[in-house]
């Protein structure tokens, strides 16, 4: 396993300890929300700057998920410890039209936008040269799933995991944006384990996305 810095959570002081106990022991489950995000300004910004909308959104998403401890949680089953990573990074995916398969792309999150953009673009181009699935979770413990469903502007999406599996990394999906009342609206799905997140924390991701998109498009990177 690769090194990833984290802090251990003191369960006696953890502000969600009651909820954590219930949803990690009595009612093991996840919670997810699909909602449309207004990406009009991000689309216009990407076109004006001649940058890729996809990578710009991936940067904004990664910045949002790194902004709160609640989204960077993990569980060490070997020692029965709840931890919070100092940083989490996106696992994006490249789809190969010829084989109709995907290759996971492990991209490191950098707070500096240009550094992230350059690395993410290079990671995608490298992944296009292989057809290997290449999943390597053991050496990427602090990565979250960020998957673009490019073929559909969907209305709902549900990710199922075994109830007994305490998997805390966020799973984020998004689809094609479409014009609604003159605005570009994009479906985004956020899945988190209920032990470390409730409806408020899932909904908070969407609020933070709105705020961060506005900051990004104003050049506040």
pLDDT digits (tens, 9 = 90+) for 165-200: 789 999 999 999 999 999 999 999 999 999 999 999
- Would 25 be classed as within a structural domain? yes
Predicted pLDDT at 163 = 62
- Would 68 be classed as within a structural domain? yes
Number of domains in the chain: 1
Predicted pLDDT at 160 = 81
- Would 95 be classed as within a structural domain? yes
CATH code: domain of residue 55 = 3.30.559.10
Q: What is the mean pLDDT of residues 155-163?
A: 84
Predicted pLDDT at 23 = 94
142, pLDDT greater than 90: yes
Higher pLDDT, 44 or 219: 44
- Would 166 be classed as within a structural domain? yes
- Would 91 be classed as within a structural domain? yes
Instruction: Give the whole-angstrom CA distance, residue 215 versus residue 130.
Output: 36
pLDDT digits (tens, 9 = 90+) for 14-46: 999 999 999 999 999 999 999 999 999 999 999
Q: What is the mean pLDDT of residues 2-7?
A: 83
pLDDT digits (tens, 9 = 90+) for 71-124: 999 999 889 999 999 999 999 999 999 999 999 999 999 999 999 999 999 999
- Would 86 be classed as within a structural domain? yes
Residues spanned by the domain of 204 = 6-217
Predicted pLDDT at 1 = 38
Residue 3 — very low, low, confident or very high, per pLDDT cuts 50/70/90?
low
- Would 1 be classed as within a structural domain? no
Nearest to 88 by CA among 105, 70, 66, 68: 66
Sheet holding 6-8, edge to edge: 6-8, 81-85, 73-76
Residue 125 — very low, low, confident or very high, per pLDDT cuts 50/70/90?
very high
Predicted pLDDT at 149 = 97
């Amino acid at each position: 396993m690769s090194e990833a810095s984290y802090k251990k959570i003191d369960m006696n002081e953890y502000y969600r300890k009651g909820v954590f106990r219930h949803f990690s022991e009595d009612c093991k489950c996840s919670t997810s929300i699909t909602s449309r995000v207004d990406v009009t300004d991000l689309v216009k910004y990407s076109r004006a700057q001649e940058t890729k909308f996809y990578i710009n959104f991936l940067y904004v998403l990664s910045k949002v998920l790194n902004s709160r401890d609640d989204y960077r949680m993990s569980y060490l089953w070997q020692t029965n410890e709840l931890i919070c990573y100092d940083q989490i990074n996106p696992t994006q995916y490249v789809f190969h039209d010829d084989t109709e398969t995907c290759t996971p792309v492990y991209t490191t999150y950098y707070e500096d936008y240009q550094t992230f953009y350059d690395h993410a673009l290079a990671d995608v181009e490298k992944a296009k040269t292989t057809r290997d699935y290449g999943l390597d979770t053991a050496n990427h413990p602090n990565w979250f799933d960020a998957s673009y469903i490019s073929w559909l502007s969907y209305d709902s999406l549900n990710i199922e995991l075994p109830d007994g599996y305490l998997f805390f990394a966020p799973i984020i999906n998004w689809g094609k944006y479409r014009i609604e009342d003159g605005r570009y609206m994009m479906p985004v799905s956020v899945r988190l384990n209920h032990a470390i997140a409730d409806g408020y924390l899932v909904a908070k991701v969407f609020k933070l996305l709105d705020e961060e998109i506005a900051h990004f498009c104003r050049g506040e990177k």
